[in-house]
Chain A
Amino acid sequence: EIVLTQSPGTLSLSPGDRATLSCRASQSISSSYLAWYQQKPGQAPRLLIQAASSRATGIPDRFSGSGSGTDFTLTISRLEPEDFAVYYCQHYGSSPPFYTFGPGTKVDIK
C-alpha cells in the first residue's frame, strides 16, 4: 500500500509570496495518477491538478504541479487571499482500485 507524506504540515506565508508544497510517495508511482486538491473550511475538496502537472478546468495558472517517481510538488506562484487553505495530494492505484490521500499541508496567513 502506497503512503503519501506531505511537508511541511503548515506553511505560514503572506499574500504575494510563493508557496511550495511537497508530496512524497512511499514507492515510485505513475505521475498520471497523482492529483492535488484544495480544501477550505466547511467545503468539499476542489481538484486543482491532475496527472501531476495538468491544471483542472478553471484553475488559475498561478497553480502548477511537477514531479515524478516519489517526489511531487505543488507551487502557487503568488498567493492570493483566497489561496489560504489546506492542500492534499492524492494517488490512485488500479490493481485493485485504491485511493490514497496525503495528510495535507495547511497554508495560513503569516
Chain B
Amino acid sequence: QVQLVQSGAEVKKPGASVKLSCRTSGFNFANYYMHWVRQAPGQGLEWLGLLNPSNGNTWFAQRFQGRVTMTSDTSTSTLYMELSGLRSEDTAVYYCARMERPGTFVHWGQGSLVTVSS
C-alpha cells in the first residue's frame, strides 16, 4: 500500500535551517508529483511547493521562493524539503503529500513538527 513516512520533530533556533525527509513506498515514486504543505498551530493549510521526481523540476509558492529547496532521491524514493532562514512563524507541522490528478492529495505523510524558538 502507499506509504509516506516523514522524519521526526525538529527544534531550531531563528535563522537556522531545517531539512525534512519523506520516505515513500508502495508506488512508482518517479510517476507522481510530490508536495509539501504546512499547518501552523491552530491554523489552516498552506502549500509550500512541489517537486517532480522524474526530472527534479520544482515549483514553489511565491512567499517561500529563495528560502525553500526541494530535492529527491529516486533510488530510495525519498523526498526532501529544506527551509532556511527560520523564524517563529515557521513553527508548524509540515506534511508531504502525493498529488493525484487533478491536483488533489489523497496520500499524506504523518507530519513533521518543526518548532522555531530561541
Binding site for B on A (CB under 8 A): 1, 32-33, 35, 37, 39, 44-45, 47, 50-51, 56-57, 88, 90, 92, 94, 96-104
Contacts and interface: CB of A to CB of B under 8 A. Distances in A.
A89 to B, nearest CB: 10
B44 A101 contact: yes
B36 to A, nearest CB: 10
Contact of A98 (B44, B61, B106): B61
Interface residues of B, number: 22
Given A44-B109, A99-B35, A101-B46, A35 B104 contact: yes
Interface string B62-98: 1000000000000000000000000000000001010
A45 B45 contact: yes
Nearest to A102: B44
B44 A47 contact: no
B44 A45 contact: no
Given A44-B95, A97-B50, A98-B61, A33 B44 contact: no
Interface string B29-56: 0000001010000001111001000000
Contacts of A44: 95, 97, 108-111
A48 to B, nearest CB: 10
B95 to A, nearest CB: 6
Contact of B106 (A56, A92, A94): A56
B26 interface: no
Nearest to A36: B104
Given A44-B95, A44-B109, A45-B108, A92 B44 contact: no
